[in-house]
Structure 1
């Protein structure tokens, strides 16, 4: 509108049942270099007629329409990232740091689990040693942890770990993450296991209980709980599974997550399989 008298008031009609207004401008800031602008996101690419209409302070009215076809928003590729956590015996944990800058604008209706992460735990030699599952990416690092427990070996082993990610539009990251490499010695790994044995109340430590540690190769060692019921083992073991169980005449003991394999190695006594450098393998007298 030429020679408009300010303020002017106008409304947008986006042609899909949605409107924006009434909007008031109090200063003559509209020019060819500063036109009236707005933005609107459509549900699909159907052609629409967009109309702006309004009036100035002199109650002069204006209206202009234009038909166009909305174009899809270009997808931004996700950013892949990860880091290696401290290795715990034969268990390797990685933390995913991937993100998706347009997770809420490009294909948001695909759902929160439509992204996908794939981790190949032995990228060079095996296609079956992998983790593949849905992942919800946002514009912040996911910080999700993923773990794999490798088998013990009497020879040195090196594994290459590969990581890939796709977003909710099935787009892969533009820059792949570098592979990680982990190595295990054939001589075994340092293992530190500790915990407590509690009396019937589950609170008071139980002193004088014999606690055994046994490897799958049949090597057995033992220790005795202290006055507060605590015990610990430290050594180098070349076993994926370590069995820990307490014994004291006249008592049986339970552990929160007793491993079924343990029944084969503890002479039918309640015991626990320890897969990691656990700092808390506890038992309670029954």
Structure 2
């Protein structure tokens, strides 16, 4: 695989908008053309060649690699529609903003609002994610609209708030209000959860490996059963990513909790039974 690598070498004060550094904009350009691209750094616009060392052949590359990013690098992978973008370092807020396709891999932690407005593609985070993962921004009616987000670490509060479609997988723990106001889609949380899981959800599925300590009275215990769709979901996910192979060993029996009846919701929380 041929790679185009951009390595951050100049310290940046304030936030750095990395939205132009996606395969859609870079592949096919010369190094000189890439070096002239303007990035917003704090209150200034700065050329790429003033901040990054550019290596590789853009015209023959099929992957873009960003190295040396710090936590102030926002909008990584924003609006990308294809290709592969790999980030080495810590990304800031809004990674995968309005992503429409392709593969975005973060080899470190990310900030808030990861996957906001995402419509398709695969976002993989090898670290922790901040609050509002796959959630709707204030004023938006929908959060994640499609695609798959896989967090290999922990995630913050309000995961998947108002998400409309797609799949979110959290290998570690999640904070309060996971799946709040869900409209549809699937959240899989493998660790411990905070309070108010699924509060206000109308539809959608939250799959848990551990039962929450408390559940709102507006959720109904529907007993135990073996949903047929789970084996199909496991097969789909294990075929998509080598990191999800262990799903094939997960149990098929679940405890089903339905709600949130406070909003007439028809969502469900499925707790896997060993």
Pairwise TM-score range, normalised by the shorter structure: under 0.3
Higher relative contact order (Cα pairs below 8 Å, separated by 6+ residues): 1
Higher Rg of the two aligned structures? 1
Superposition TM-score, scaled by structure 1 size = 0.21
Bigger proportion of residues as helix: 2
